[in-house]
Amino acid sequence: MLGWKGVMSNMPGQPFERLTYDRKYHQALTYLYNLQKFGIKFGLSKTENLLKAFGNPHKNLPAIHIAGSNGKGSVAALLASIYKQAGYKVGLFTSPHLIDFRERFQINGRMIGKGQTLALIKEIQDKTHSLEPPTFFEFVTAMALLFFKREKVDLAIMETGLGGRLDATNIVRPLISVITTISLEHQEYLGKTLKSIAWEKGGIIKEKVPLVTGVTQKKVRMILEEMCREKQAPMFLAGRDFGTRNTGQGQFAYFGFRICSLGSLPSRLHRDGFPVSNFGKGKKNTPNQNPQSAISIPKLKVALLGEHQIKNAGLALSVVRLLNQKYPVSEEMIRKGLETVQWPGRLEMVGENPRIVLDGAHNPGAMRTLTENIPKVFSFKKLFLIFGMMKDKQLKETFNYLIPLADKIFLTRAEYDRSADPQDLQPFLEGKNVPYGLFPALPEAIEAAEEEAGPEDLIIITGSLFIVGEARAWWERRKARPDKSVLTRG
């Protein structure tokens, strides 16, 4: 098996991890990843029971809860960056990680320490019941909530794993809920239709807690609106209540609602301490502005590439506006937060001449967004595609978006047991007029693509965040040792 000695180590049932010489830490992570044998089990009772032993740290934790098929990680990162710039102590819980397990737990951009990680794992492990073992995600969710509570964060930004209604993170009662987009995904768990998936993700909507959403499908919107009505939760919809407009030269404008004084609105609009004003219906992407209630912020820039990130920024800014009375943020800090945000592995450039880009598009919706953005963001002569994906994903639907754009495709796999074998991807190229090659390991595919690509060409590495994580580790190692090969066999 190909390995990266001195860089990463392999543990059962999990992707590569940074190599550590701390045996106790290594054993603790191995224990955690072995919890994956319990699979994905929806339900909140085990997480709640686990946290009771620690005094229910999730209760009264100021949180923003984010679900969605795509974009939820980007929105979480944007919010964390804005609130960090504004001087708040912000916890960020996301998944999966790219290289280091500790990426999942951050405060103001800093990962949790190894010592803290080890202590939390041991402490929670001691409280688990042998007859009710937690799943991997239930365990790490408990870690995040306990870590953020003890660190006394001002805000905890919590990203769901998948779904929403029965996701382990749904034990929090947030200040605001966010549903970014909804598309067909994880159908074996969430249902076969958009309606069933919308209902599952809409399960994060809480009584009288505002919902911010970027969904576009009429049927999905109607489902979320009905759920919000039942729970008396005000709903703020992109394109109706707020929106963004690309103004060119890398800039965009935001249009949204203004937070009003408590006495200026009917009491029926006051939800959980949020006096807000709604635009009502407006034109798509350009809200119908009332000068007394509207706010616009021109000439904004976001560090993340792609037009979809402008839409994600619009969702984040709407959350900031709704929270502005409790967590004031100046326009200057909003600008700094957008311009300094980092979210690795999403249209991330890691090399030049040829340009090399990483993007963790892992489902049809994300791949469609990637293919729409490639010609808008990059200029190139030829496109070389390095592609690897998990075998339990919608392989054909996802792959077909990229085939028409590629001049050559390099099929490969991540060193992870859920990865599809390159030979399993080969049938999707039959009858397609595009050359391709099969590579059993990602580093071989990268080197082959670099040998063929010219300085004006573009190499895209995509199909899975696990592929992106391995590629990113490979580049980190190469930067550290530019005069030596980063590949060894072992």
Task: Spell out the domain ranges in the chain.
Answer: 39-340, 348-489
Residue 370, Cα to own-chain centre: how many angstroms?
A: 15
* Other C-beta atoms lying within 10 Å of the C-beta of residue 460: 26
- Tell me what pLDDT residue 275 has: 41
Sign of the CA dihedral running 259, 262, 267, 273: positive
- Tell me what pLDDT residue 141 has: 95
- Tell me what pLDDT residue 483 has: 55
Tokens 């009905």 correspond to 226
Same CATH topology for 39-340 and 348-489?
no
Residues facing residue 340 across a β-bridge: none
Contact (CB, 8 A) for 236 and 210? yes
Distance CA 433, CA 263 (A): 65
Q: Helices 72-85 and 307-322, interaxial angle, to 10°?
A: 50
DSSP structural state of residue 318: H
Q: How far apart are the first and last CA of the chain?
A: 7
Distance CA 85, CA 272 (A): 26
Joined tokens for residue 283: 């034109």
Alpha helices in 15-67 (DSSP H): 23-34, 45-52
Q: Helices 194-201 and 218-230, interaxial angle, to 10°?
A: 30
Find, among 485, 460, 462, 464, the residue nearest to 416 by Cα: 464
* Other C-beta atoms lying within 10 Å of the C-beta of residue 226: 12
Q: Which CATH number does 348-489 carry?
A: 3.90.190.20
- Residue 119 phi/psi, 5° resolution? -65, -40
- Tell me what pLDDT residue 69 has: 87
DSSP-derived 3-state class of residue 173: coil
- Tell me what pLDDT residue 4 has: 28
Sign of the CA dihedral running 39, 44, 46, 48: positive
Find, among 8, 10, 31, 11, the residue nearest to 20 by Cα: 8
Find, among 158, 157, 141, the residue nearest to 40 by Cα: 141
Q: Which is the CATH superfamily of the domain at 39-340?
A: Mur-like, catalytic domain (3.40.1190.10)
Residues whose CB falls within 8 Å of the CB of residue 3, separated by 6 or more in sequence, listed in order: 10, 415, 488, 489, 490
What digits encode the pLDDT tens for the residues 306-344? 999 999 999 999 999 999 999 999 999 999 999 999 999
Bridge pairing between strands 235-237 and 211-213: parallel
Stretches where the chain sits below pLDDT 70 are 1-21, 37-45, 184-192, 257-294, 392-393, 481-490
Residues facing residue 357 across a β-bridge: 349, 460
